[in-house]
Homo-oligomer: A and B are copies of this chain.
Amino acid sequence: MRKPKLLMTPGPTPLPPEVITAMSQQIIHHRTKEFAEIFSRVNENLKKVFQTKNNVLTFAASGTGAMEASAVNFFSEGDTVLVVSVGVFGDRFINICKTFGLNVIEKKYPHGEAANIDEIIDILENDKSNIKGVFITHNETSTGVTNPIEKLARYLKDKDKILIVDAVSSLGAIDLKTDEWGVDVVVTGSQKALMSPPGLAFVSVSDKAWEFYKTSKLRKFYWDFKKYQDNLLKESQDTPFTPAVTLIRAVDVGLKLLLDYGLENNFKRHTRLAKLTQLAVDKLNLELLPKKEYSSAVITAIKAPEGIDIEKVRKIMNQKYDIMVAGGQANLKGKIIRIGHMGYVDEFDLLKTIQCFELSLLECGYKNFEVGEPTKAILQEIAKEVV
């Protein structure tokens, strides 16, 4: 009598029934007019979600593949890059860049803090090592922090450096005006705000970044952006290598649902889900890991209460109530719990999650709250809109 697992994680996120149905079809061949029609629509809709006039390249890969691709397409061994890290995914950019022989200047912030953009601009202003690119995470899921990247993008716009943004967990849910702000390379994945299964990665590339591509000497075959770009410039758009046809069918529907709902509406919706979660955290007498001003719209990182086995809380939520939330990664393991509210997740999914969080905390011995009050606070907030 169990219900399907509800994924309140930082991805994969739940699939709308229309997306599931789109995948319940016989495979079609990818060198056909039928596929080209779907793929062209996907490409047009991706531009809207990326808020760019440039082509968006589609890879059969997870987000990390596209992160790697965004390093190997623009630089050469020994090039200096600045990598800003506020958590696990910032650190991943550092690892990738080092792996390919780039000279990495690391700018790390303590877990739970956002990047200080003024400080980063200061580093760039005083740079003597010819930094050619800046890598930054838009939304760091490991700490529940969103970096304020607009100012950095605008600063870099007329510089001879490119800005590469990991927007895997943010794009479509948190505003990112690629062209207007001047973000050169934006990377995202299918399994977050696009409400599709994992397996596709997407990258937008600015004109400035294409200039960098021309001089890049790092070796690439599968990740070679030009191959993908050329196939998008053909009359019948396709991919250089076999695409993940079923996933492209899925994201076609996911994108349509998202755009029908409206990008702006979706940004507001996620911000609201975050505010409601924060309200519950207050009523639970728990603390956010980040400051509220940087706390993410798509994932809320909450400090484990003193003396409570938060991994056990998570296990109960999963095994008894069939709700998956995330724990802490790396040095935050056992210290935080992270509730995702990303993609096809609504207020009532959140209410259910908070209810199960309450019951699971209680079962693990945390009693510093009144059962039902966190839920009630959310419902009263929602009620403000109906009266």
For A359, give its contact among B1, B16, B261, B382 (CB under 8 Å): B382
- Given A1-B344, A344-B1, A355-B348, A371 and B379 touching (CB < 8 A)? yes
Question: Chain B residues near A351 (CB, 8 Å)?
Answer: 351-352, 355
A105 within 8 A of B: no
Q: How far is the CA of A140 from the CA of B251 in the complex (A)?
A: 46
Q: Does A188 reach chain B (CB closer than 8 Å)?
A: no
CB distance from A41 to the nearest CB of B (A): 20
Task: Give how many copies assemble into the complex.
Answer: 2
B interface footprint on A51-87 (CB within 8 Å = 1, 0 otherwise): 0000000000000000000000000000000000000
Closest residue on chain B to residue A347 by CB atoms: B355
B residues near A24, Cβ cutoff 8 Å = 24
Known: A352-B352, A387-B363. A3 touches B346 (CB 8 A): yes
Contact with B along A256-278 (1 / 0, CB 8 A): 01000100001001000000000
Q: Is A227 an interface residue (CB 8 A)?
A: no
Q: Once the chains bind, are A352 and B344 in contact (CB under 8 Å)?
A: no
Nearest B residue (CB) for A266: B1
* Inter-subunit contact B376/A380 (CB<8 Å): no
Given that A1-B344, A351-B351, A355-B351 are contacting pairs, would A387 and B362 also be in contact in the complex, using a CB cutoff of 8 Å? yes
Contacts known (A363-B387, A376-B376); A1 close to B261, Cβ less than 8 A: yes
- Judging by beta carbons under 8 Å apart, are A386 and B363 in contact? yes
Q: Once bound together, how far apart are the Cα atoms of A379 and B3, in whole Å?
A: 18
Cross-interface CB contact of A377 among B16, B356, B372, cutoff 8 Å: B372
Query: Quick one: which of B362, B372, B379 contacts A358, CB cutoff 8 A?
Result: B379
Bound Cα distance A24, B23 (Å): 13
Contact call B362/A372, Cβ cutoff below 8 A: no
Which listed residue, B17, B376, B379, touches A4 by the CB 8 Å rule? B17
* Most central of A24, A356, A358, A371 by chain B CB within 10 Å: A371
A376 near B371: Cβ-Cβ < 8 Å: yes
State the Cβ distance, A152 to closest chain B Cβ, in Å.
31
Q: Which of A357-387 contact B (CB under 8 A)?
A: 358-360, 362-363, 371-373, 375-377, 379-380, 382-383, 386-387
The chain B residue sitting closest to A321, CB to CB, is: B348
Which of B3, B269, B371, B380 has a CB less than 8 Å from the CB of A1? B269
B contact residues around A362 at 8 Å (CB): 383, 386-387
State A164–B321 Cα separation when bound (angstroms).
40
Instruction: Say whether, besides A351-B352, A352-B348, A359-B386, A257 and B1 are in contact (CB < 8 Å).
Output: yes
Task: Please indicate the chain B residues that have their CB under 8 angstroms from the CB of A352 in the complex.
Answer: 348, 351-352
A372 touches B363 (CB 8 A): no
CB-nearest residue of chain B relative to A351? B355
Query: Which B residues lie within 8 Å of A261 (CB)?
Result: 1
Smallest beta-carbon distance A284→chain B, Å:
13
Chain B proximity of A59: nearest CB distance (Å): 27
Q: How far is the CA of A3 from the CA of B352 in the complex (A)?
A: 14
Apart from A1-B269, A363-B386, what 13 extra A-B contacts exist at CB < 8 Å? A1-B257, A1-B266, A1-B346, A4-B17, A348-B355, A351-B351, A351-B352, A351-B355, A355-B379, A358-B383, A362-B383, A362-B386, A372-B376
Task: Report, nearest first, the 5 A-B pairs whose CB atoms are least far apart.
Answer: A372-B376, A372-B379, A363-B386, A371-B383, A1-B261
